[in-house]
A and B are shown apart, each in its own frame.
Chain A
């Protein structure tokens, strides 16, 4: 039985006057890829932002490595080992690829440099454009840089939000391969609309609808359950 790395219990989040998350329960186990699935506006991205403290939870508990983190500020959450790859990638456009990586490392240690070498093997494009400004990269390269940056940021858990969004199929394939490789060294929580990609790399799934967790289980169960897919994802 794998140990639970992250646990969300009955999480509620308000953004302004809107009650976005209305009871999210979810667990990510070490070494797994857990996929959050659901329709647009279901609350998947808000769930990731709530874990990161960017839209703090108004109720409920979030436990990471047996420590309650729901009241912690974002920078502390990042320091204890949660990396975040946002939907818009959040690249620092004026900094070069190298500088983006150096900023993400916080401290240049042997461990961080080893991680950097590892991700540069996964994403050779980044090595090619090492001295190029982040803003001049293509969409796919920005996605790779965003993931690489979160990985070297001393992260035990990576939250990745829609990595395939707006990317060409060939680039999606590359990103998918990289996630599968990264999975060997870190735990991943993935938000993904592309069910084919999600089903190929996910070990477990959590279905979210209207800000609530409606179903959880092994990815194989979801693949086999056409009714569930039709009802909550509109496919089947």
Chain B
């Protein structure tokens, strides 16, 4: 039994390793600037979507204000790179500033809002995010408002491939750290909170603390994604704090599969590719000028055919298949057992 589990685990590891090798080789093999940029974008949104999955999938928190942390990261990096000489040191420093600011904001926002029932919490996060958006719009001396501003990224990132690898490395590190986090005893308590908060409290856990921890970790990771996003565009405006960003993260998580961590990565691949190709088709077929409608149809089909998300549905099928196999093994006739052996 233990042996089989080990084999299965290693199969997963091999699968991820193959994908990683493919992604490492991709920029050299494909030699397509567009696809390299698209993949970089996918990695950035995958980091954001994973941070959202920590909230939604592992703690059961629906937040409509997640974009604020993405925006904090994006603005911290953009403002500092614009103010100082754009070196790697300043870039890393700006990411740390963004992370610290997001941690502080998410801590206080969490402490204030996470006592509320889920729908009130969702509304309040929307309101606070809206408030930050207004601040970004009105504080023109720093943010240049809606118009935004361009800035210079560190020279090393002028090479798109270097930036591609930098973002890929961030994605892999964030994925491994989050996976470790959700598999830790603390992660299990978060799952318990999502499943039955009242029951978790009656086992002696002050659930608010755990929800705040989850909110802070998710905010920090979203901020990291925001910093990378700003550098990828070398431009920032208030769109990084809008509801669209939160909805993208939400949809990537739902389509990929909530509570799986891998799901949001798959979701970001599906959504970014769909956006890219559907909008590209408009050049040849005028009907695709309204590509957002087709995009909506893809969402509906994904939710209808994969109610647990793509990865969630695959996991469910595997688990069904495994239990069927187990039942067959348990109730097998002696001659079948003999044949099998």
Interface residues of A (CB under 8 A from B): 52, 54, 73-75, 77-79, 84, 86, 90, 92-95, 99, 102-104, 106, 136, 149, 153-154
Q: Pick the residue among A74, A79, A103, A153 that contacts B192 (CB under 8 A).
A: A103
Contact of A54 among B195, B198, B206 (CB under 8 A): B198
**A106 and B202 contacting across the interface, CB-CB below 8 Å:** no
- B127-135, B138-146, B183-191 - interface stretch: B183-191
Answer yes or no: B205 CB below 8 A from chain A CBs.
yes
Decide if B207 is an interface residue (CB 8 Å cutoff): yes
**With A92-B195, A94-B259, A102-B188 in contact, is A79–B202 under 8 Å at CB?**
no
Known contacts A86-B199, A90-B196, A90-B199; is-contact A75 B191 (Cβ 8 Å): no
Which B residues are in CB contact (< 8 Å) with A136?
323
B334 within 8 A of A: no
A93 & B195 in contact (Cβ 8 Å cutoff)? yes
Cβ–Cβ contact B191 & A94, under 8 A: yes
Closest approach, in angstroms, between the C-beta of A100 and any C-beta of chain B?
Answer: 8
Distance to closest chain B CB from A87 (angstroms): 12
Tell me, rounded to whole Å, the shortest Cβ–Cβ distance linking A24 to chain B.
Answer: 19
The smallest C-beta distance from A115 to any residue of chain B, in angstroms, reads 14
Indicate which residue in B192, B201, B259 contacts A75 across the interface (CB closer than 8 Å).
Answer: B201
A–B Cβ pairs within 8 angstroms, 8 of them: A54-B202, A90-B198, A95-B192, A102-B188, A103-B185, A103-B189, A106-B204, A149-B203
Min distance, Cβ A120 to any Cβ of chain B, angstroms: 18
A46 CA / B259 CA spacing, docked (Å): 34
Partner of B196, one of A78, A92, A153: A92
Q: Digit string of B199-227 for contact with A (CB within 8 Å is 1, else 0)?
A: 11111111100000000000000000000
With an 8 Å Cβ cutoff, the count of chain B residues facing the other chain is 19
| Contact assessment for A95 and B203 in the assembled complex, using a CB-CB cutoff below 8 Å | no
Q: Report A69 CB to chain B, min CB distance, Å.
A: 13
Q: Would you call A92 and B202 a contact (CB within 8 A)?
A: no
Which residues of the partner chain B approach A86 to less than 8 Å between Cβ atoms? 199, 202
Within 8 Å CB of A75, what residues of B? Answer: 201-202, 204-207
Contact of A104 with B203 in the complex, beta carbons under 8 Å: yes
* Chain B hits for A94, CB < 8 A: 191, 195, 259
Residue in chain B with minimal CB distance to A90? B199
Question: Min CB distance, B323 to chain A, in Å?
Answer: 8
- Residue contact A78 to B191, C-beta cutoff 8 Å: no
Which residues, 227 to 285 on B, are CB-close (under 8 Å) to A?
259
Q: Are B204 and A92 in contact (CB under 8 A)?
A: no
Given A75-B207, A102-B185, A103-B189; A95-B202 close (CB under 8 Å): no
Q: Which of B188, B192, B201, B203 has the most CB of A within 10 A?
A: B203
**B205–A106 CB distance below 8 A:** yes
Provide the residues of chain B in CB contact with A99, threshold 8 Å.
Answer: 188
